[in-house]
Structure 1
Amino acid sequence: MTTIYLVRHGQASFGKTNYDELSENGEAQAKILGQYFKKTITEQPLIISGAMKRHQQTTQIALNECFPQADYQTNALWNEFNHQQIFSRYEPKFEQPELLKQEIHNEIDPRTYLAQIFDQAIQRWTDESYHHEYDESWIVFKTRVEVALQNLCTELQNTQAKEAIVFTSAGVISVIVGKLLELNIQRTFALSWSIANTSITTLKLLNNEPQLFSMNEHQFIKSQNPDLLTWL
């Protein structure tokens, strides 16, 4: 039975001009992830990374701990949606990430406030009336992710590889899980809030069809350093 490990990247730089870069926490998380894979994966798997910088950094740091000589594929189909554009189309002032971060910081319950903004921004993005206002509409993003997964399943079937690791993002993982569990859009994106940085979601291929085996495994981070457990 073939196993696919979907890994969310390490903590990025939320609220900074360049979000697409690991924070110090993110680098530490990626290192612990690699140490975990060294204990649990004995043979080198097929390895794929999204093309974003945070994907690449997480991949390289983790592989340095478990498969330092391994080559990996870079595939932009596994990239995250443009969350900064989605926020700014919902509220133009959020074109500056620092303003969003400051507004969240001023709230009594920052996480709840961010979740509310995110939900409303996603609602607008997934509304067909506004698809033309985004560089990548919801339906195009969803289709891209589904194609990425199907391509991977075909490659695994053709190569007979037993394991694959994909370094990607929470939105991508949520879409895949949502499809497998037949969730609606709202419930699909609600998953994003539960997916921890560098957590592992595992799929098993049965007759070349992906099945959800486990989701959001992050005990390996919590057991080493609970303070490193993050969701943003």
Structure 2
Amino acid sequence: MGELIVIRHAQASFGSDDYDRLSDLGHQQAELVGAALRDMGWVPDRLITGTLARQKQTLRGMGFDKAPEEHAGWNEYDFHDLLRVKFGGTIPDPVQHDRKTHFRTLRDVLREWQGGGVEGARETWTQFSARIASARQAATREGAERVLVISSGGAIGQLTASALGAAPEQMIALNLQVKNTAISRFIFTPRAFFLHEFNATPHFAPKERAHLLSYS
């Protein structure tokens, strides 16, 4: 059996003009999760990221030398696009910059998107879920036993919901739980794929590191 570990990128730059880059905290988180995997003796033989800068920066910060593959299927859904479409082209300032307002609004917009709404968005829910399935198939193809993927919360939520056979709305609950640099582990064979561990952060377990945990 093969093992797939999917890690959410480290903290990005919420509320800034360029969200798609790690914060100072994010760089610390990336170093810690890389060290945690090495302490476990878990060394990947396939590395994959999406095409987003925050995903690539996270992997670089983790300190693995093997050249990664890129697969755009592991990218996040474009939440900026969904919110712009929902609000007629301009995202209200509280939705853009206040965390509680942002995530409460995003939850509602995702439900609408899953139901076929938010017409005019660059990607439909059906397209999003299909590309996550395609990315999973590519990552677990023959040739590697330990696969490490750096992805994003929505992609991890959908991958997990799919592995559990859960309803689409469960993806939203899972998505919004995923911590920065959290480890989710899956077991795969040519005919099976199932969840083994979800949203683990052993690298933040020591009390002196608890303040480094973040969700966005």
Counterparts in 2 of 1:44 and 1:216: CA distance versus 1, 3 Å: closer
**What is the deviation of 1:187?**
1.5
Task: Name the residue aligned to 1:197.
Answer: 180
The 1:17/1:214 distance shift into structure 2, 3 A limit, reads same
Q: Deviations over 1:136-177 (max 9, x none)?
A: 111101100011101222x2xx21x22010000010011111
- Look up the match of 2:123: 136
Question: Helix, strand or coil for the counterpart of 1:201?
Answer: strand
Higher helix share: 1
Percent identical residues: 22
Aligned counterpart for 2:196 among listed residues 201, 213, 217:
213
Whether 2:91 is the aligned partner of 1:95: answer yes
SS class of match (2:7): strand
Letter of the 1:199 partner, please give it: A
Report the AA paired with residue 201 of structure 1.
S
Cα deviation, residue 94, structure 1? 4.9
Aligned: 1:82 with 2:78: yes
Q: How much has 1:119 moved relative to structure 2?
A: 1.5
- Alignment of 1:127 onto 2:115: yes
The worse-fitting range, judged by mean Cα deviation, of 38-47 and 185-194 is 38-47
Say if 2:15 is the partner of 1:11: no
Question: Relative to 1, partners in 2 of residues 1:204 and 1:120: Cα closer, same or farther, differing over 3 Å?
Answer: same
Q: Deviations over 1:159-206 (max 9, x none)?
A: 1x2201000001001111111112222221111121100000000114
Residues 201-210 or 44-53, more deviating: 201-210
SS in 2 for 1:194: coil
The number of residues matched between the two structures is 215
Q: How far did residue 86 of structure 1 move?
A: 1.2
In structure 2, the CA distance between the partners of 1:94 and 1:195, relative to structure 1 (3 Å rule), is farther
Checking the alignment, whether the CA contact within 8 Å between 2:77 and 2:128 is kept in structure 1 is: yes
3-state secondary structure, aligned to 2:34: helix
Two-structure CA RMSD over aligned residues (Å): 1.9
Where 2:123 maps in the other structure, the secondary structure is coil
- Tell me the alpha carbon deviations over residues 45-87 of structure 1, each in whole angstroms, 9 at most, x when there is no partner: 211011100000001110x2xx3x3111111111111011112
Q: Any conservation in 2 of the 1:178–1:187 contact (CA below 8 Å)?
A: yes
**What is the TM-score of this pair, normalised by structure 1?**
0.86
